[in-house]
Structure 1
Amino acid sequence: MSAKVLVVGDVMTDIIVMPEGPIVRGSDRRAQVRQRPGGSGANQAVWLGAMGADVVFAARVGAEDKDRYEDYFRQRGVKPALTGDAVLPSGVLVTMVDPDGERSFLTDRGANLNLTGADLPGALLDGVGMVMISGYSFFADAPREAVRALVAEAKRRGIAVAIDPASEGFLAEVGADQFIDWTAGADWLFANEDEARALCGAADAEACVMALGAHYGQVVLKRGRHGAALGGRNGIELTLPAPAVDVVDSTGAGDAFAAGFVAALLAGEDKAGAMGKAIAAGARAVQSIGGQPG
């Protein structure tokens, strides 16, 4: 398998808001407000670059930001394949971070909504061993059509495909059966516990992995401070714990986890080794603000 990985997903500017206490409706609340580069696909690509992977990132941004973003990704070891949108601006995500590190989001996907097949030519797959698709790309018509065509071409070429559902809220909107219909047959599914429950309809991890294993080659369940589990249609075959760390901001932890797993897998690690690297990356991510390595 080639060690080159193609990531497709959103580019966002993350506005991270960390209030000192509950929001006071109609009045003020002191808070830390920080701006960071983000987007699930962008986060995965940058984490992969930081891990030394050979990574290409395809996405759509506002035309006025294209040169800046291309420079940004190149500086972080990522080969950008960006299209500039003349109509919509780059996406913006407002993240509200609770004192315990839990997050809530307000999302304006902007130019990401206009991703088309022309932005994802088959040539992007040349020499690629893994395609990683952010679930956000399935939640709007044009991007979904584009990434499904890319996935079909990847399968035709025998290239592995990994899907990260990305958003429990958007899964609830489109429905689990619909999302599974769009993504079934992928070699890997990286889902956190909430996303997995939304897709499988079961609270039990073993039952959920088995149910999802009927649609995906391997299911990796991201369990936060409880570590991770991996399995398929026959149930869970591997579990590993996570180290105890101080959580500052969990934004992008799942993206770091997926990147760590894929980078290790493509470097020749077995599944246990890849899981260990993934958990370590997720633990590193929660110890700083933002979804990408500093």
Structure 2
Amino acid sequence: MSTRVLVVGDVMTDIIVRPEGPIVPGSDRRAEIRNRPGGSGANQAVWLGAAGANVLFAARVGAADRPMYENYFRGQGVVPALAGDRDLPSGVLVTILDPSGERSFLTDRGANLNLSPGDLPDSLLEGVGLVLVSGYSLFAPGPREAVQRLLQSARTRNVPVAIDPASTGFLEEVGPAVFLGWAGQGAWLFANESEAELLTGEADFDAQMQALGRQFSHVVIKRGQFGAALGDRHGLRLSQPAPIVKVIDTTGAGDAFAAGFVAALLRGEDHEACLSAGIAGGAKAVQAMGGQPG
């Protein structure tokens, strides 16, 4: 198995807002406001780079920002394959944090919405051992067509496919059956608890694993502060707790988990070690602001 991973997903600028207290409609509230690089795909790519993986990242950004983003990703150990959009600016995400670290989002996906088949040529698959796709890329028609073509080529070449559903909001909007149809067959699914329940209609881990395992060879359910679990069509196989840490910001924790897991997988480690690496990545991510390693 090749050790290179191809990540496909969004590039965003995260504007992170931490109010000192409840927002007061029609009035002011002091807040800590910071800009950070973000986007689910970009987060995964950078966390993979930090884990020492050989990572190629394909995405679309505003044309004016392309040189800056290319330099940024190279500096993070990521090989960028970025298309520049002359019509739409790079995406922006406003994250509002409450005192518990929980997040609410306002999203303008910008250039990500114009990801096209020309941005994802089959040549990207050369030497790749796994393709990791953020579910955000499936929620708009243009990017969905581009990603589905790439995934079909990956399956033809026997390159394993991993899907991260990415958003319960979008999943509820389109419906679980539609999303699973868009995703197609895969080797791996990385879902959080809410996504797994929404996709299956089941509250029980074992039942979720069995249901999702009919479409994905391996199912990983991210449980946040409770760790993570792994299974397949036969049900739950492994479960591990998470360490107790001080939560500053949960942005990107699921992306860090997926990156840690995939990096270990591509190193040839067993599934138990991969689960541990994913949990360690997620635990590290929640202890700092932003969705990428600082």
TM interval, shorter chain, is over 0.9
Residue deviations 1:46-81 (CA, integer Å, cap 9, x gap): 000011100000000000000000000000100000
Partner of 2:23: 23
Partner of 2:140: 140
Partner of 1:151: 151
Residue 206 of structure 1: how far off its partner (Å): 1.6
> What SS does structure 1 have at the residue aligned with 2:24?
coil
Residue 197 of structure 1: how far off its partner (Å): 1.1
Residue 291 (str. 1) matches residue 285 (str. 2): no
Partner of 1:47: 47
In 2: Cα distance, 1:159 partner to 1:241 partner: 31
CA RMSD of aligned residues (A): 0.6
Partner of 2:253: 253
> What SS does structure 1 have at the residue aligned with 2:93?
strand
Gaps of 5+ in 2: none
> What SS does structure 1 have at the residue aligned with 2:272?
helix
Residue 210 of structure 1: how far off its partner (Å): 1.3
> What SS does structure 2 have at the residue aligned with 1:180?
helix
Residue 203 of structure 1: how far off its partner (Å): 1.5
In 2: Cα distance, 1:290 partner to 1:7 partner: 19
- Aligned positions of 1:142-291 closer than 5 A: 142-291=142-291
Residue 132 of structure 1: how far off its partner (Å): 0.3
> What SS does structure 1 have at the residue aligned with 2:92?
strand
In 2: Cα distance, 1:187 partner to 1:150 partner: 15
Residue 127 of structure 1: how far off its partner (Å): 0.2
In 1: Cα distance, 2:235 partner to 2:23 partner: 42
Q: 2:143 corresponds to which letter in structure 1?
A: P
In 2: Cα distance, 1:13 partner to 1:137 partner: 16
Residue deviations 1:107-152 (CA, integer Å, cap 9, x gap): 1000000000000000000000000000000000000000000000
Residue deviations 1:215-256 (CA, integer Å, cap 9, x gap): 111110000000000001111000000000000000000000
In 2: Cα distance, 1:149 partner to 1:43 partner: 23
In 2: Cα distance, 1:196 partner to 1:112 partner: 25
Residue deviations 1:156-180 (CA, integer Å, cap 9, x gap): 0000110000000000111100001
Partner of 1:103: 103
The range that moved more, 35-44 or 209-218, is 209-218
Residue 184 of structure 1: how far off its partner (Å): 2.7
In 2: Cα distance, 1:138 partner to 1:290 partner: 24
In 2: Cα distance, 1:276 partner to 1:27 partner: 45
In 1: Cα distance, 2:201 partner to 2:99 partner: 29
> What SS does structure 2 have at the residue aligned with 1:56?
strand
Q: 1:201 corresponds to which letter in structure 2?
A: G
> What SS does structure 2 have at the residue aligned with 1:187?
strand
Q: 1:276 corresponds to which letter in structure 2?
A: S
In 1: Cα distance, 2:209 partner to 2:107 partner: 29
In 2: Cα distance, 1:104 partner to 1:206 partner: 30
Residue 74 (str. 1) matches residue 74 (str. 2): yes
Residue 94 (str. 1) matches residue 94 (str. 2): yes
**TM-score, normalising length from structure 2?**
0.99
**TM-score, normalising length from structure 1?**
0.99
In 2: Cα distance, 1:244 partner to 1:275 partner: 16
Percent sequence identity over aligned pairs: 66
In 2: Cα distance, 1:135 partner to 1:119 partner: 17
Residue 22 of structure 1: how far off its partner (Å): 1.4
> What SS does structure 2 have at the residue aligned with 1:260?
helix
Partner of 1:56: 56
> What SS does structure 1 have at the residue aligned with 2:186?
coil
- Say how many residue pairs are matched: 294
